[in-house]
Amino acid sequence: MTPAFPRSAAVASRLEILPETPSTNDVLVAGATDAEAWPDFSVVVTDNQTAGRGRLGRSWVSPPGTTLAVSVLLRADASFRIDALGWLPLAAGLAMTRAVRSALPGRDDVFLKWPNDVLVGGRKISGVLSELVVGDVPSVVIGAGVNLTMTEDELPVPTATSLALAGAEHPDADAVLEAYLREFRGIVEAFRAAGGNAQASGLQAAVVDVCGTIGSRVHVELPGGAVLTGLARGIDVSGRIVVQADGSSDLTPVAAGDVTHLRAR
């Protein structure tokens, strides 16, 4: 049975609850051309996404009813420079990290893995995928998934986890979604008010604060096949992770890459 989301509906401009869909992102990408029907901060959610996608083209599937898939539509306006849009997936990762922490108050090991995975005890509980929709005014669709009640046998990989496995006895889907949407909306509103300046809005500092990648040795597979191994030192004003390569004093900003933690924070 499709769950109800009364608390989440109070946060979203429009909340569309689907019993099943191939991809919540696809629904909003298709709707982005209709600004009247799908206003800024419209949300699509399901607990049965049948053809979800992850970063780098990976598939993302889960048994029905065990995971939330949620997508948010953000419409760019004069307050957003086009280069500021790259911060939105990080903002979503920050919001989801805070939502997961609120669902697991007894855990002190919930961190953001750059750029936008959420880890509990080093195991992935949530991921984010963003898509730019080009039109008269660009829009960004931010998709996120969070594992609620998956058992060990249901996990897609051994390095994943769920709220239930992490200690939440009865994960409340509406409470988790409301916390995520409320955090995300507040972060985006502050970011907009600062003209898309991550430093002035506090977004950069907040992401750094929850990012477990910083201070870890990392192995980064870069686009094109190059590999960078070293210590993650910080996140710059563009949202790039800054890595000090092993045996070097140079700092290399990385805008995109597949990151593996070699030593946990």
- CA-to-CA separations, 29 to 24, 67, 119, in angstroms, rounded: 9, 21, 27
| Domain match, 146 and 233 both | no
| Domain match, 161 and 257 both | no
How many domains are contained in the chain?
Answer: 2
The residue whose two tokens read 């946060």 is 11
- What's residue 225's pLDDT? 83
Check pLDDT > 80 for residue 124: yes
The amino acid sitting at 197 is N
Give first-to-last CA distance, the chain, whole Å: 40
- What's residue 55's pLDDT? 53
Q: How many CB atoms lie within 10 A of CB 65?
A: 15
More confident residue, 43 or 260: 43
Q: What is the pLDDT of residues 148-171, one digit of tens each?
A: 999 999 998 899 999 999 999 999
Mean pLDDT across the chain = 91
* Structure tokens that stand for 25 in this block: 């992102």
| Domain match, 20 and 95 both | yes
- What's residue 58's pLDDT? 56
Check pLDDT > 60 for residue 265: no
152 burial via Cβ count (<10 Å: 0-12, 13-18, 19+): exposed
- What's residue 107's pLDDT? 95
Give the pLDDT mean for 138-154.
95
Q: What is the pLDDT of residues 189-241, one digit of tens each?
A: 999 999 999 999 999 999 999 999 999 999 998 888 889 999 999 999 999 99
The domain of 101 spans: 6-209
Is residue 250 within 8 A of residue 209, CB to CB? The reply is no
| Domain match, 15 and 80 both | yes
Check pLDDT > 90 for residue 22: yes
**In which band, very low, low, confident or very high, does the pLDDT at 179 lie, cut at 50, 70 and 90?**
very high
- What's residue 8's pLDDT? 98
Q: How many CB atoms lie within 10 A of CB 29?
A: 18
Q: What is the pLDDT of residues 50-89, one digit of tens each?
A: 876 655 455 666 788 999 999 999 998 777 777 788 899 9
Is residue 149 within 8 A of residue 64, CB to CB? The reply is no
- What's residue 61's pLDDT? 67
**Closest to 156 (Cα-Cα) out of 234, 253, 54, 235:** 54
| Domain match, 166 and 54 both | yes
| Domain match, 236 and 106 both | no
With b for 16 or more beta-carbon neighbours within 10 A and e for fewer, the 34-62 pattern comes to ebeebebbbbbbbbbbeebbbbeeeebeb
- CA-to-CA separations, 4 to 46, 64, 146, 254, in angstroms, rounded: 10, 15, 17, 40
SS3 call for 84: helix
Cα 229-231-237 angle, rounded to 5 deg: 110
**In which band, very low, low, confident or very high, does the pLDDT at 37 lie, cut at 50, 70 and 90?**
very high
With b for 16 or more beta-carbon neighbours within 10 A and e for fewer, the 185-215 pattern comes to bebbeebbebebbbeebebbebbeebbbbbe
| Domain match, 98 and 30 both | yes
The residue whose two tokens read 């499709």 is 2
Q: What is the pLDDT of residues 106-122, one digit of tens each?
A: 899 999 999 889 999 99
Instruction: Give Cα 69 distance to the centre of its chain.
Output: 11
Cα 209 to Cα 31: distance, rounded to the nearest angstrom: 35
| Domain match, 183 and 219 both | no
| Domain match, 53 and 167 both | yes
| Domain match, 55 and 90 both | yes
Cα 209 to Cα 113: distance, rounded to the nearest angstrom: 12
Check pLDDT > 70 for residue 28: yes
Check pLDDT > 60 for residue 1: no
Q: Assess if residue 135 is contained within a domain.
A: yes
- What's residue 60's pLDDT? 61
- What's residue 59's pLDDT? 60
Kindly report the CATH number assigned to the domain that includes residue 245: 2.30.30.100
Cα 189 to Cα 195: distance, rounded to the nearest angstrom: 10
* Model pTM above 0.75: yes
Strand partners for 126:
118, 146
